[in-house]
C-alpha cells in the first residue's frame, strides 16, 4: 500500500498528468492521445499550445510503436509521460533500442540540437525532398518536427539495458502560451 501512495506523491511532485508504461500498440496510442486531449480541453488550454503538444505526443508515441523490436520481450518495456507546470508541458518517452542504433540516433539528435529555427526548417524541407522514408521512418523527420514545434532542444539519454539493448529516453518541453 505504501507503494501506491509513494507513486501518487511522486506524480504530484513532478506534475505528471498521464503516465503509461507497457506495450504500445496503435490502439493504446489512440487512447493515450484521447486522454491527454480531454485533459487539455478540461483546463481550457489554448488551441495553439494544444496542437503543439498533441503533435509532439504523436511523434513520441509513433517512435515507440514503430521502432520497438517485436521479437524481443525487452521491447515491451516502453514508457510515456506528460506533465504540466505553470508555463510548460513536459513530454517524456522511453523505449529500448538496439545497441547498433545508438550512435546513429545520437548523431541525428546532436545535429538537430545544433540548429536554430531556420536551420531546422531547412533540414525539414531537405529530408522531405531527398529521403525515401521506410515504414519504420528513420529519416529523423519526427525529431526535427518535435524540435520545431517545441522551439527547444530535445533532451535525450541512452542507458544500457543488457548487451544488446539500450534504453532511449527523450524529453521535449513546450512552453504554454
Domains in the chain (CATH in brackets) are 2-175 (3.30.565.10)
Rounded Cα gap, residues 38 and 172, in angstroms: 20
pTM of the model: 0.88
Residue-wise DSSP of 43-109: TT--HHHHHHHHHHHHHHHHHHHHHS-TT-GGGG-EEEEEEEETTEEEEEEEEEEEGGGHHHHHHHH
Rounded Cα gap, residues 1 and 155, in angstroms: 34
Confidence of residue 25 (pLDDT cuts 50, 70, 90): confident
Rounded Cα gap, residues 167 and 175, in angstroms: 26
Whether the predicted pLDDT of 175 surpasses 80: yes
Element (H, E) at 110: helix 102-113
Q: What angle do CA 132, 135, 139 make, to 5 degrees?
A: 45
Predicted local confidence at residue 133, as pLDDT: 57
Mean pLDDT of the residues in the chain: 88
Question: What's 135's DSSP letter?
Answer: T
Rounded Cα gap, residues 155 and 177, in angstroms: 21
Q: How do residues 26-84 score in pLDDT, each as one tens digit?
A: 888 899 999 998 989 998 899 999 999 999 999 999 888 876 655 555 556 899 999 99
Greater model confidence, 54 or 24: 54
Amino acid at each position: 500500500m505504501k507503494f501506491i501512495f509513494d507513486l501518487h506523491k511522486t506524480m504530484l511532485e513532478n506534475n505528471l498528468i498521464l503516465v503509461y508504461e507497457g506495450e504500445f500498440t496503435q490502439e493504446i496510442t489512440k487512447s493515450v492521445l484521447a486522454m491527454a486531449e480531454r485533459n487539455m480541453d478540461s483546463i481550457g488550454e489554448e488551441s495553439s499550445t494544444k496542437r503543439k503538444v498533441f503533435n509532439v505526443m504523436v511523434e513520441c508515441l509513433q517512435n515507440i510503436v514503430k521502432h520497438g523490436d517485436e521479437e524481443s520481450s525487452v521491447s515491451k518495456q516502453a514508457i510515456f509521460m506528460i506533465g504540466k507546470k505553470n508555463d510548460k508541458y513536459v513530454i517524456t518517452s522511453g523505449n529500448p533500442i538496439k545497441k547498433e542504433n545508438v550512435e546513429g540516433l545520437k548523431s541525428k539528435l546532436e545535429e538537430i540540437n545544433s540548429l536554430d529555427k531556420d536551420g531546422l526548417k531547412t533540414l525539414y524541407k531537405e529530408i522531405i525532398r531527398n529521403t525515401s522514408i521506410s515504414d519504420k521512418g528513420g529519416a529523423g523527420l519526427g525529431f526535427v518536427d518535435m524540435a520545431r514545434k517545441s522551439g527547444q532542444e530535445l533532451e535525450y539519454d541512452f542507458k544500457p539495458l543488457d548487451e544488446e539493448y539500450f534504453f532511449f529516453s527523450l524529453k521535449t518541453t513546450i512552453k504554454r502560451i
